[in-house]
Amino acid sequence: MRAQKLGAGLIAQNQSALPPFILYRPTSLAEAAALTQEHPEAVIAAGCSDLVAQFREGCEPGVLISLQHVDELRAISQERGVLRIGSLVTHHGGSTSPEILSSLPALAAAWGSIATVRIRYRGTLGGNLLARRFRYELPIIFSALDGHMHFQAGEDLATLPVSSLWDSDAGISGILTSVSVETGTLLWYGYERSMRPVSTVSLAVRKHAVAGLAITAVCGSEYRRPFVLSHAAEASTIAELDADFVGTALAAQLPDEAGDYAGTIAYRRHLVSVLTRRLLARATGNQKK
């Protein structure tokens, strides 16, 4: 037996309870954003699949803001070459969205490959990103796509690249309203998770702003933060890319700190090279992006 907090009595060791907290249930984004200004220490609840795990790990919110009734955070749109996905869109919703299937079907396919069925109906885009757990896959997927997160705190707006999630000084605050992906210059995208949990690779090929192609690969792992790798090629089409050369060049950029007890850095570089070449082989097979 152990004592409950706040002197409420004794409970069994295998049971626990959250101390009382203040719960807000805003019904609009403006109301939710204002609450985060009023309560900067508040814990934000989206799908709650990760939040329940945080409770078990010791999270004890004094103020909790539930976004479940803010329907505008579930919107998905494609306009002027930009795909915008609301932060409350679930894994199931993202993988079956008509807007995503029509504009970026490879994203829908990648999104549909993660999590269990139960989690897929609860877990949200925003919760998956902002949990900042190495084992979650949407940061890897959206970093390769050069996704950008849009926040609102009160009347203030801020935009951060998804790849900045792992920066200690990223300055993340407020409500994550949506994630945007520019699709106009995107030529191809693919995700390889066959070697998970040791290594996954998310790869995007875009037209370079000046000339040639820009290849971005994000290497993920359950045990290390994702690493963004990039390569600029003079080729004008994906078919002109030398998959072996590009795969080797990208793998060589993986820093030594990516090595861990599950795989040495040499092994992980090998996996990145193999998975990247596999993805580029698909890309040159004229698959749709």
Going residue by residue through the chain, which has 289 residues, state the pLDDT in tens, using 9 for 90 and above.
Answer: 555 555 556 666 555 678 899 999 999 999 999 999 999 999 999 998 899 888 888 899 999 999 999 999 999 999 999 999 999 999 999 999 999 999 999 999 999 999 999 999 999 999 999 999 999 999 999 999 999 999 998 888 999 999 999 887 766 778 999 999 999 999 999 999 999 999 999 999 999 878 899 999 999 999 999 999 999 999 999 999 999 999 999 999 999 999 988 889 999 999 999 999 999 999 987 444 4
End-to-end CA distance of the chain: 57
Residues sharing a CB contact under 8 Å with residue 252, sequence separation 6 or more, in sequence order:
269
Q: What is the pTM of this model?
A: 0.90
Residues sharing a CB contact under 8 Å with residue 110, sequence separation 6 or more, in sequence order:
137, 141, 189, 190, 191, 202
CA 159 – CA 22 distance, rounded (Å): 29
| Tally: H helices and E strands in the chain | 10, 14
Helix or strand run (H / E) with residue 216: strand 213-220
pLDDT value of position 64: 96
Residue pair 238/188 in contact by the 8 Å Cβ criterion: yes
Chain centroid offset of residue 270 CA: 24
For 32-65, b/e burial (b = at least 16 CB within 10 A) is: bbbbbeebeebbbbbbbbbbeeebeeeeebebbb
